[in-house]
Structure 1
Amino acid sequence: MHVKILKPIFFLFISLTLVACQSETEVDFPDQQLEEAIRAELDQTEDELYLSDVRDLKSLNLSGEAIENLEGIEALESIEEINLTDNEITNIDPLTTLPELREVKLTGNPLEDEAITTLEESGVAVVFEAEQVGLPDGPGGFLWKVENGDTTVYLQGTVHLGEPDLFPMHEKIEQAYVESDVVVPEIDLFNLDMAEMNQLQMELGTFQDGTTLEDHLPEDTYGEVKAFFEGKGFPMAVIDTYKPWLVSTMVSQLMVQELGFTEGVDMYFLSKAKADDKEVIALETARDQLGIFADLSMDYQVQLLEESLIDIDTYEKDLRQLIDIYKTGNVDELLDVLFETDAAMSVEEEAYMEALNDNRNYGMAEEITKFLESGEEKTYFVIVGSLHLILEPHVVSILEDEGYEVEHIH
């Protein structure tokens, strides 16, 4: 009789244990990064996670774990402090269900202020500093925006050289970049085939008729060129093979380097695009641009070279003035400094400006129109020299003539 009673009691204990095991609640974290981070804190890398495993946790450090989704964190009923800095969390609603939560660190997550306020109103102390994109009073302007359906195109005027205090730029410019899916420069400088570039330079920039640079320059001009390059360690035997337009660009580049100017706005955003793995689509090719100079008459090439041979102090003063104006975003002032309104251009100067500005602007606008008419839900960040957006006929006015509404953002 005694045994018969013990057996049912023994079985009952076994049954209750089994029932308890069967009724133990499993915790589910849809975000694998969140689950792995919690497992690491618990030192439990295998087996299922149950409510009993996590319900007594008081504090967690889950910073920098690439967490996006907090769903499932409601199971941490006793949690008082959580460090969630430097993740990718966009929704913090699950945190509002934690009855014992007293403090949470959320800096470095892409969160809206409204969500932070809601959490604070529930009695939680929140540490949150939004990632700053650009500067509220940062440098730069020349930013336009045009939309068509789901497609957005930002047009950002650039300067091709800079100095450290040019970056980061104004918050509206930096935000336009952040929003973009595709960065669109004049040329993708990170995707140039150097062997092809060298061949192109040989084809378009060197004499192929047996003549030399000295044969085409006035004696005094050649003397200045010789003094300039030999002073920098360049053998004239090499320079003599180059056409004046190429020598002119070399003079300018060497002075820019000597003066210590840094990369321009184009390279700044292209470098960011490369780091952020954004798609890059170029508007032009190197041949397109170099061909403009190669097609100039020899007389006009010589004129450009002579104009480039200026005193380096004067050159520095002029460049810094242009960069300072660029920082303010003043369109009219930039045009006034670059162009004398009363000065008449020669026929060759007009042809040069037409090739350098007008024709290219129509070509750029044509490519931008293709983006706008693609029907794709994408945002493009076009970065081209500022004159392409302000010197008539410029890209902005061409797009407006085609019926697009272009808004000057900054």
Structure 2
Amino acid sequence: MNFKTSFTRLAARYLGIVGLSLACAGINVQAQAQTAKEDTAKGVLWEVKSAGNTAYLFGSIHLAKASFYPLPEAVENAYKQADTLVVEVDTSDPRAAEKAMPFFTYTAPDKLENHITKKTWEDLQGMVGAASAQLQVLKPSIVATALSVGVFKQQGFDAGKGVDLHYMQKAKQDKKDIVSLETMEFQANVLAGLSDEDGDAMLAQTLDGLKNGDLLRETNGMINAWKAGDAEALTKILQDAASKDAGSRKVMKLLLDDRNPGMVEKISGMLEGGKKLFVVVGAGHMSGPNSITELLQKKGFEVKLIK
């Protein structure tokens, strides 16, 4: 699973280690990347209607660039009409992140090496060198996420410029209500709760993706699809990533499909209650089978992609 959710904000705490390690390993992601045009991003925006009330759903990317702003007028108008901003989780609260961190770590003498295969451990050592010792405290899923975030960071993407954080900051200034669909602890438990087998598969796939360039290509493809407002292309990239093997399908299901119904229940409840919503959730949740938009349609809401 390479399209980042808000788990990435927790992983970003370790980017000092990971970024240095990638540089020492001679992996120059920036030089390999096909740089996208530095222009304003379009993003993916849906309109949802029910009984005379209208909400807007905007697919977020959690690491972005200053050049993506301002977002299109349609997106800004969708935000302005809302009295309530709805996000996955309030990642602007550092205390929430601190509470979640124990989910991602092992207590000594336990360590990462005990929970992954010998091959995966050796591949990680080969990738990050001596820094692998500093990663021993972390669970494989957070190491995989941090490595993936490193690909974004080396291309100039910044969690501080993420779309969800951008609108949370605006909503606080504008004194709008902010509602979280999940807690940081819940999200952390989902990712950290992977079995050793699934965690190993996630880390091994990430390491392979770094070596063969798939991770970079998928990252660029997803960012470009989001910037172009191409929901179909974004869906295809995610589906292709999930269909690589059984482990990929399982992780994708855990991180996206299994969480979407709970989000939909909360969104539909607020919409039916008359709230004027601007919902900013990771773009991976928004399109394709079992997505938030599909589930809302099945509940009888009128859902339209704004192009």
Question: Distance between the aligned counterparts of 1:145 and 1:168, measured in 2?
Answer: 20
Partner of 1:361: 260
Distance 1:254 1:367, change over 3 A: same
Q: Which of 266, 269, 283 pairs up with 2:181?
A: 283
Q: 63, 66, 69: which one pairs with 1:161?
A: 63
Query: Which residue pairs with 2:294 in the alignment?
Result: 397
Indicate if the aligned counterparts of 1:184 and 1:283 stay in contact, CA closer than 8 A: yes
| Alignment partner of 1:185 out of 87, 95, 100 | 87
Q: Report what 2:202 is aligned to.
A: 304
Residues 187 and 284, structure 1, Cα contact 8 Å, conserved in 2: yes
Q: Which has the higher helix share?
A: 2
Q: Distance in 2 between matches of 1:395 and 1:147?
A: 14
Segments of structure 2 that go 5 or more residues without pairing to the other structure are: 1-38
CA displacement at 1:354 relative to structure 2:
2.6
Which residue is 1:82 aligned to?
A: none
Q: CA deviation at 1:311?
A: 4.2
Partner of 2:156: 260
* Superimposed CA distance per residue, residues 39-77 of structure 1 (whole angstroms, 9 cap, x where no aligned partner): xxxxxxxxxxxxxxxxxxxxxxxxxxxxxxxxxxxxxxx
Deviation, 1:285, is 0.8
1:281 alignment partner AA: V
Correspondence for 2:271 among 347, 353, 372: 372
CA RMSD of aligned residues (A): 2.8
Q: Structure 2 vs 1, CA of residues 337 and 359 (structure 1 numbering), >3 Å: closer, same or farther?
A: closer
**Secondary structure in 2 matching 1:161:** coil
TM score, norm. by length of structure 1: 0.58
Equivalent residues in 2 for 1:3-402 (5 A)? 139-149=41-51, 151-194=53-96, 197-202=97-102, 204-208=103-107, 210-226=109-125, 228-229=127-128, 234=131, 236=133, 238-262=134-158, 263-309=161-207, 310-311=210-211, 315-340=215-240, 343=243, 345-346=245-246, 348-374=247-273, 376=274, 378-402=275-299
Change (3 A) 1:338 1:406: closer
1:313 and 1:343 map into 2 onto residues whose CA distance is: 17
Give the distance between the partners of 1:199 and 1:280, measured in 2 at CA. 20
Offset of residue 343 of structure 1:
4.4
* Cα offset, 1:341, TM superposition: 9.2
Give SS of 2:48's match.
strand
CA distance in 2 between counterparts of 1:150 and 1:338 reads 33
2-structure distance, mates of 1:403, 1:218: 47
Offset, 1:283 = 0.7
Secondary structure in 2 matching 1:189: coil
CA shift, 1:281, in A, is 0.6
Q: Matched residues, percent identical?
A: 29
**What residue ranges of structure 1 are gaps of 5+ in the alignment?**
1-136
Read off the aligned partner of 2:223 and give its amino acid letter.
I
Whole-angstrom CA distance in 2 between matches of 1:315 and 1:397 = 27
Write the distance in 1 (CA, Å) between the matches of 2:169 and 2:212.
29
* TM superposition shift of 1:272: 2.0
Distance in 1 of aligned mates of 2:305 and 2:151 = 34
Distance 1:350 1:387 in 2: 14
Letter in 2 for 1:354: K
Give the letter for the 1:275 counterpart: Q
Check 1:344–1:318 CA distance in 2 against 1; reply closer, same or farther (3 A cut). closer
Q: 1:373–1:246: structure 2 CA closer, same or farther, 3 Å change rule? A: same
Question: Relative contact order, CA 8 A, sep 6+: which one is greater?
Answer: 2
TM-score, normalized by length of structure 2? 0.76
In structure 2, the partner of 1:113 is none
Larger Rg: 1
| Residue 259 of structure 1: how far off its partner (Å) | 2.9
| Matched position secondary structure for 2:145 | helix
Flag the 1:303–1:269 CA change in 2: closer, same or farther, 3 A.
Answer: same
Please state how far the C-alpha of 1:396 moved relative to its aligned partner.
Answer: 1.4
